[in-house]
A and B are shown apart, each in its own frame.
Chain A
Amino acid sequence: MVKKSVLFFFVVLAAVPGLALARSDLPDIPSAIIPVNAPDTMAERVKACTVCHGPEDKEGRDAYYPRIAGKPEGYLFNQLRNFRDGKRHYRPMALLLEDLPDRYLREMAAYFSSLRQAFPPPEPMNLSSSEIRLARRLITQGDPARKIPGCVECHGKDLMGTAPYIPGLLGLPRVYIIAQFGNWQNGGLMRGQTPDCMSEIAKQLSTDEAGMIAAWLAAQPVPEALMKRPDTVATLPEKLSRRCSSILLPSGTLPPGTIQ
């Protein structure tokens, strides 16, 4: 059997002169080696990230890839660490970041944070006027009876985030915000984190309310001034920071405000 196939192989080789070279005839293979251009930059080092996290939010085959450019550095750093350590669960991110030390993750966060954010145009808002009123109230005032603070309290009066840990809420697609609410409600976004403020808040909201908030936020245009200067984010007041899970970092890391 073996002999036969070997024999066959030689017969084929003999019958078709030049077949052995066929592999170098593959289409478009140039005859000269073109050196690989790999500049010594962060942009080159984060190619593994930008293959999914492009300039715009992207719907992938398995997941939704949000833009990360221009988001607060501390926020991005926390997310990178949470993914790496399995606290925010998404296996591909955990595998990619395995063994990368904090200092390198911080550098990556700083890089993406420094990029100009490209905001998508506002989405149309399909809400009734009473729904709009409810969404506005929850966003600006919250619902003290259910211990829900208004979004503006932590995410800034202009909803563009507070440095360095809390992300902006404008310029995000509706489906992304809804997905995040869903993850917080079922505990899938962050694990073992205390306090987990967004999880507590999301669990107080009904699915309809979360949908209205997402629709309202996604329909807001990003203020021109902020689009040009994404680094002019506010800083969170001390008393609120105590409740905020985004700021709570395990020992050995930098306290709020010290990230350069």
Chain B
Amino acid sequence: MKRTVIASLAGAAISLAIWLAPEGRSSIHARPSQALMAPVVEEQADTAAQPALAGLVSRGAYLARAGNCMGCHTARAGDGAAGRPYAGGHILATSIGTFVTPNITPDTETGIGGWSEEDFWQALNAGKSRNGAPLYPAFPYTDYTKVTREDANAIFAYLQSLPPVVQHNAPNRIDFPFNFRPLLYIWRALYFTQGVYRPASGESDEWNRGAYLVQGLGHCNACHTTRNPLGASQGNVLGGGQIMGSNWYAPSLTSFQEVSTADWTIPEIMRLLKTGLSSRAVTTGPMASVISDSLQHLTDADARAMAVYLKSLPPGAPYSRGAAPALTEEVDKQLRRGGEIYETHCLDCHGNFGQGQPGVYPALAGNRGITLASPINAIRSILNGGYAPVTASNPRPYGMPPFAQILPDEEIALVLSYIRNAWGNRGSMVTAVQVDRSRKGAQ
């Protein structure tokens, strides 16, 4: 009890500090908090006379960004067509069925216009819907339970300030037997620990703030962990995992072989969080969306806190580097063939030593994203191409062409096998079957 109070107070104090001193925390962007606030205040002309509410709403806007609520609660092209922000309709394919995210704009009938602050708190903290029924953990309340009441209230105030959107979304299609909701009580008993984040006593305020954001609102663990078939991440905190319903792998944030940042400098980690680019890595896929929609808007103080926490994560498996294939005559032939494909299609941008061009085209030499044990991310990048995240500091990113329509599966496998084993890289050979699986896989 006492601890919870302390946590709440700490959270409130931190939040208050951010609220009171937005300008001292911005060296990358000019006054990011102000920029964030501006549109919210405009929408809320009638609340201008109520500074307390306006303040709460702007803080909620910031926190909703940090939690990337919009990322799931907005339909995308892959869901049929892009939708209005926060009006839901995004499809989440999971091992137990298909979830369609709800409308969280304040429309009374189709959104959460009829909700109270307490209802919202129950959802976030206890994982319970308005009628008291347990929620499916597709809504990551195992993470959100760590969010403080003050922060939850601010987010609620912000959501209630949005223009209401009338949008009925398709119902969830949950498979038998998981559609029997009482089973969730068993799931919760096994995997859900309710409770606001408790600061670790031996750690700095900054570290605790980072842990609070990463473990709570940021819900990094929702992707960066292996989930069992029941959708629970059994203690494998930030250890990497395949993202449900997609052929993306969210790499381990603790393994040196994957994307641990333990040996990075704090400014380097911050730069990756806020721009999606660093001298060592470029984010792609779902993480690129998280950067452009959410993390780029963090204050420098919060980005730094997250960096401090991420850097401190204890090392996790896999500890060793990937294994190179035994250099048989056949492998050698395949690598040579892959090298030729590389020269034709990749060398112009990624360089003759896989060195890339910093800030423009990622280096492939020493790129851990390329040599992950599972090659699915690299296969996807080659098949579908894509742009680095658009952020305030990188508004016109360079892009990678899609090669799905240019190279057959076999050639993609060959060139990727080559890249995984050139310039000191080490990784297993990629097969045409793996490429084919990615082509046919879910989005």
- With A26-B339, A33-B351, A92-B384 given, is the CB distance from A84 to B81 under 8 Å? no
A30 to chain B, nearest CB (A): 6
Pair B355/A36 contact, Cβ less than 8 Å: yes
The 0/1 profile, CB within 8 Å of B marked 1, for residues 19-59 of chain A is 10011001111100111111000001111110110000000
A36-B349, A36-B356 known; A48-B400 Cβ under 8 A: yes
- Please indicate the chain A residues that have their CB under 8 angstroms from the CB of B402 in the complex: 48, 51-52, 92, 95-96
- CB-based nearest A residue for B401: A51
Since A44-B398, A100-B387 are in contact, a sample of 20 more A-B pairs with Cβ atoms closer than 8 Å, ordered by chain A residue number, is A8-B326, A27-B340, A30-B352, A36-B351, A37-B348, A38-B349, A47-B398, A49-B401, A60-B405, A62-B404, A63-B405, A84-B82, A85-B81, A86-B80, A92-B404, A98-B289, A99-B288, A99-B387, A99-B390, A191-B80
Q: How large is the interface on B (under 10, 10 to 19, 20 to 34, 35 or more residues)?
A: 35 or more
A244 lies within 8 A of chain B by Cβ = no
* B384 contacts A38, C-beta separation under 8 Å: no
**B406 contacts A by Cβ under 8 Å:** yes
Nearest residue, chain B, Cβ from A13: B327
Closest Cβ of chain A: how far from B385's Cβ, in Å?
5
For residue B338, which residue of chain A has the nearest CB? A26
Taking the complex as formed, is B275 at the interface, i.e. its CB lies under 8 A from any CB of chain A? no
Q: B405, A100: Cβ atoms under 8 Å?
A: no
Contacts of A192 in B (CB 8 A): 81
* Neighbouring B residues of A94 by C-beta, 8 Å: 77-78
| Contact partners of B353 in chain A: CB under 8 A | 33
Provide a sorted-by-A list of 6 A–B residue pairs whose CB atoms are within 8 angstroms. Answer: A19-B327, A38-B361, A45-B396, A60-B406, A96-B385, A103-B395
Top 8 nearest A-B pairs by Cβ distance? A86-B77, A48-B399, A85-B82, A51-B401, A94-B77, A36-B357, A86-B81, A48-B401
Interface size on A, residues (CB 8 A): 50
B406–A61 CB distance below 8 A: yes
Q: Mark A residues whose CB is within 8 Å of B.
A: 5, 8-9, 12, 19, 22-23, 26-30, 33-38, 44-49, 51-52, 60-63, 83-87, 91-92, 94-101, 103-104, 107, 191-192
The residue that B390 contacts in the complex, of A29, A30, A52, A104, with Cβ under 8 A, is: A104
Interface contact A96-B386, CB-CB below 8 Å? yes
The answer to whether B389 and A99 have CB atoms under 8 Å apart is yes
Q: Which residues of B contact A26 (CB under 8 A)?
A: 335-336, 339, 422
Residue of A nearest to B380 (CB): A95
Give the residue name and chain of the B residue nearest to A65 (CB): B405
Given contacts A51-B402, A92-B405, A99-B292, contact A87 B387 (CB under 8 A): no
Confirm or deny: B188 has a beta carbon within 8 angstroms of a beta carbon on chain A.
Answer: no
A193's nearest neighbour on chain B, judged by CB, is B81
CA A47 to CA B361, docked complex, whole Å: 12
Closest to A60 in B: B405
Please measure, in the bound complex, the distance between the C-alpha atom of A173 and the C-alpha atom of B373, giving whole angstroms.
46
Q: Is B433 among interface residues, defined by CB-CB distance under 8 A?
A: no
Residues of A within 8 A of B82 (CB): 84-87
The CA-CA distance from A100 to B292 in the complex, in Å, is: 9
Q: A220 to B343: give the CA distance in the assembly, Å.
A: 41
A102→B332 CA distance, assembly (Å): 46
Per-position 1/0 for B318-347, Cβ under 8 A of A: 000000001100001001100110010000
> Which of B335, B360, B384 sits near A95, CB closer than 8 Å?
B384
The total of interchain contacts (Cβ-Cβ below 8 angstroms) comes to 136
Which of A27, A52, A85, A107 contacts B405, CB < 8 Å? A52
Which A residues touch B348, using CB under 8 A? Answer: 36-37
Contact between chains at A87 and B406 (CB < 8 Å): no
- Specify the chain A residue showing the minimal Cβ separation from B352: A34
Nearest-Cβ distance from residue A155 to partner chain B, whole angstroms: 27
CB within 8 Å for A33 and B361 given contacts A27-B340, A51-B402: no
Cβ of B175 within 8 Å of any chain A Cβ, yes or no, is no
Interchain CA distance A22-B326 in the complex, whole Å: 12
Chain B residues with CB under 8 Å of A51's CB are 401-403, 406
Q: Mark B136-180, 1 if CB is under 8 A from A, else 0.
A: 000000000000000000000000000000000000000000000
Shortest A29–chain B CB gap in Å is 7
Kindly state the separation between the CA atoms of A52 and B82 in the bound complex, as whole angstroms: 25
Partner of A98, one of B386, B404, B422: B386
Min CB–CB distance A113 → chain B (angstroms): 17
Residues of A contacting B77 in the complex (Cβ-Cβ under 8 angstroms): 83-86, 94, 98
Partner of B289, one of A22, A99, A103: A99
A219 CB, nearest partner CB in chain B, Å: 29
Task: Kindly state the separation between the CA atoms of A107 and B387 in the bound complex, as whole angstroms.
Answer: 15
Q: How far is the CB of B54 from chain A (nearest CB, A)?
A: 23
What is the chain A residue whose CB lies nearest that of B349? A36
Contact status B360-A36, CB under 8 Å: yes
**Are B387 and A96 touching (Cβ within 8 A)?**
yes
B421: CB under 8 A from chain A?
yes
**B343 contact from A28, A38, A49, A87, Cβ within 8 A:** A28
A62 touches B76 (CB 8 A): no
Tell me the complex Cα distance, A46–B292, Å: 19
Residues of B within 8 A of A45 (CB): 396-399
Taking the closest CB of chain B, its distance from the CB of A106, in whole angstroms, is 11
Q: Is the CB of B390 within 8 A of A87?
A: no
Interface residue B219 (Cβ < 8 Å from any Cβ of A) = no
A191-B81 in contact (CB<8A): yes
Within 8 A of A (CB), among B403-439: 403-406, 421-422
B274 at the interface (CB under 8 A from A): no
Q: How near does chain B come to A37, taking the closest CB pair, in angstroms?
A: 8
The CA of A101 and the CA of B396, in the complex, are separated in Å by 10
Q: How far apart are the CA atoms of A91 and B395 in the complex, in Å? A: 24
Q: In the bound complex, what is the Cα–Cα distance between A26 and B334 (angstroms)?
A: 11
- Separation in Å of the A21 CB from the closest CB of chain B? 10
Q: Does B304 contact A (CB under 8 A)?
A: no
| Distance of A38 Cα from B397 Cα, bound (Å) | 12
Q: What CA separation (Å) do A101 and B386 show in the bound complex?
A: 14
Q: Residue B302 at the A interface, CB < 8 A?
A: no
Cβ contact within 8 Å between A27 and B339: yes
Q: Which of B223-243 contact A (CB under 8 A)?
A: none
- List A contacts of B397 (CB < 8 A): 45
A104's contact among B351, B396, B400, by CB below 8 Å, is which?
B396
